[in-house]
Amino acid sequence: MDSPFGLLAELTYRCPLACAYCSNPLNMADYSAELATDEWRRVLAEAGDLGVLQCHLSGGEPLLRRDLAEIVAEAHDLGLYTNLVTSAVGLSRPRAEQLRAAGLDHVQISIQADEPAISDRIAGTPSWRRKIEAMGVVKELGWPLTVNVVLHRNNIDRVAGVLELAEEVGADRVELANTQYYGWALRNRDALLPSRAQLRAAEVVVRAARERLRNRMDVIYVLPDYYSRYPKPCMGGWASRQLTVTPNGDVLPCPAAQSLPLPRASVREDTLERIWAESPVMTAFRGTDWMPNPCRSCDRRELDFGGCRCQAFQLTGDAARTDPVCHLSPDHGLVAKAVEAANADSRADALPLIPRPHGVRPSPRTPTAAPRRR
């Protein structure tokens, strides 16, 4: 594709939760100078001109932006389909009604488990009951509701209960997504990676639920990369379908690409159109010409595009390497070793998790006007 159809607008990395699987950057202080309301308006207008059709409003927790309704209204006026990706902490009825009036199209709420104590422990703060209440408000106001659950060793055995909960709240879609190991999640990988036995049991439950709920609720199950024979086509190919704008205005081909040693591109310094077409961060791994072997000579090179560049960099130190998830990668042993450890008979069922620090207090107030240049 010549232009992206999806924009992930990461409005803030501040968040009331402390999930140990968080994939947001470890250095959140680098993103404290958040884009102002008028800057987001310009970004949305440029995204629409570029061909973007869908706008996913995410974070961190986007509800911490006081101007969220203004941003939603701008996106709505531009004809963009808007999806709020939220923990639902702070989604009160008055706030929800405000967003409904602004034109918000869809709500995705995350939950950590089907049972309050487990969910709150994983989230690092009491939040389960507020999430359930918010799901009720979403359905009462007539929004489509997606329930998202990040699966890992500590909650994958609760899949049946999660599906029952999603059915009870009237979810239109449930996403069961195994953890992606970036950011804080990579630090906690040994405690998060499930065993083969856990995955087999979960897949049986998911298959049965898909059959039973076929005409009532979409059930999406995302397999863990580490157990796949081939890597996933990250974002449908590097800088081919979607782009991400971070809270401070950096533009990336995917949410994790800030970890790569590539030149920075910012909406505070250039237009989205030029960044998309010309910036090194977008062109570095676009297409297939950059590929080394075995990717270059592989029949799947235009199916999975060599896998995830961020994962390759984090595991090997070289973003141009074949994703080690692939069984053909010369670095596959790095992944195989982690999988072997997750399935070791001597391993404890629950290793301690390192919670991500809460990301609310240290950040400044959201600006409503662009900062002055010096």
Contacts of 44 (CB under 8 A, 6+ apart): 7, 9, 55, 71, 74, 75, 78, 80
User: Tell me: the pLDDT tens digits for 135-194?
Assistant: 999 999 999 999 999 999 999 999 999 999 999 999 999 999 999 998 889 999 999 999
Q: Are 309 and 214 in contact (CB under 8 A)?
A: no
Q: Cα separations (Å) of 251 from 245, 283, 368?
A: 5, 12, 20
What is the rounded distance in angstroms from the CA atom of residue 348 to the CA atom of residue 345? 8
Please provide the size of the chain in residues. Answer: 374
User: Tell me: the pLDDT tens digits for 304-346?
Assistant: 999 999 999 999 999 999 999 999 999 999 999 999 999 996 5
What is the rounded distance in angstroms from the CA atom of residue 323 to the CA atom of residue 331? 8
Annotated binding site: 15, 19, 22
Helix (H, G, I), strand (E, B) or coil at 149: strand
Q: Cα separations (Å) of 245 from 47, 270, 337?
A: 10, 13, 34
Whole-prediction pTM value? Answer: 0.91
| Secondary structure (DSSP) of 106-126 | EEEEE-S-SSHHHHHHHHTSS
Annotated binding site for [4Fe-4S] cluster: 15, 19, 22
User: Tell me: the pLDDT tens digits for 236-283?
Assistant: 889 999 999 999 999 999 999 988 999 999 999 999 999 999 999 999
Tokens of 271: 């237009």
Q: Are 109 and 129 in contact (CB under 8 A)?
A: no
